[in-house]
Amino acid sequence: MQRLVIRLAAVAAAVLTVVWVAQTADAEATSIDMETYANPGVQELSCSAGEGAEDRPSPLKQLRFSYDGGEGLLCYGAPSARGRDVIGGLVPFGSPWRAGANEPTTFHLSAATSIGGVSLEAGSYSFYVIPGESEWELMLNTNTDRWGIPINADVRSTEVGSFTAAAGSTDAMVETLTYSNADGAIVLEWENTRISIPIG
């Protein structure tokens, strides 16, 4: 009889352990699900480039930034001037440019926001510009899975919006294309040109 009681106690303990583990697992799953539910943009934002990217003369760079309600990541190939005339030369006025090198310059957004006044849902958007002497047109596009050129009518058919920004001047020569985050905007600088791109 005593052996039977011991065995029943052991079985009850095992059952209670299984129930406790299951409840704990459910609680953890619920916690994770609730975090995703509360923040639908929670995800790992990352930059990626094609094969051989490490050997390119224009390396892949990234800029992480925050905005009201979300996180963003800007991925771009960073070309250098190397003694060339850049804006208005290598990058002609009046022609679409990928605002970088290699793959399209791309914004990854964890939550809805606006860029340059263009309302965007969470997701990824390629970024193109048409430089002018005093003003640039900037365009956002849903097509990110491609090489950055050509920028033809087929590519432009998937634009989601555009805006303009004044072309300013840098304080000094900027050898390599650089994006930075300042005062709620993304700032593009290369050679002697500075463009501010409002976020949010």
Per-residue pLDDT of 104-136, as tens digits, reads: 999 999 999 999 999 999 999 999 999 999 999
- CA 35 – CA 198 distance, rounded (Å): 29
Any domain includes 43: no
> How do 123-130 and 135-141 pair as beta strands?
antiparallel
| pLDDT at position 44 | 81
| pLDDT at position 92 | 97
Any domain includes 48: no
Any domain includes 170: yes
Strands (E), the chain: 60-67, 70-77, 101-109, 113-115, 118-120, 123-130, 135-141, 159-166, 168-182, 185-198
pTM over 0.85: no
Any domain includes 140: yes
Q: What is the CA radius of gyration of the chain?
A: 25
Contact between 136 and 96 under an 8 Å Cβ cutoff? The reply is no
Any domain includes 47: no
- Structural domain boundaries, residue 29: 1-38
- CA 49 – CA 53 distance, rounded (Å): 6
- CA 175 – CA 56 distance, rounded (Å): 17
Ranges of the chain with pLDDT below 50: 1-42
Task: Please report which residue ranges of 39-192 form alpha helices under DSSP H.
Answer: 153-156
| pLDDT at position 53 | 82
| pLDDT at position 36 | 33
| pLDDT at position 43 | 53
Any domain includes 90: yes
Mark whether 92 and 187 lie in a shared domain. yes
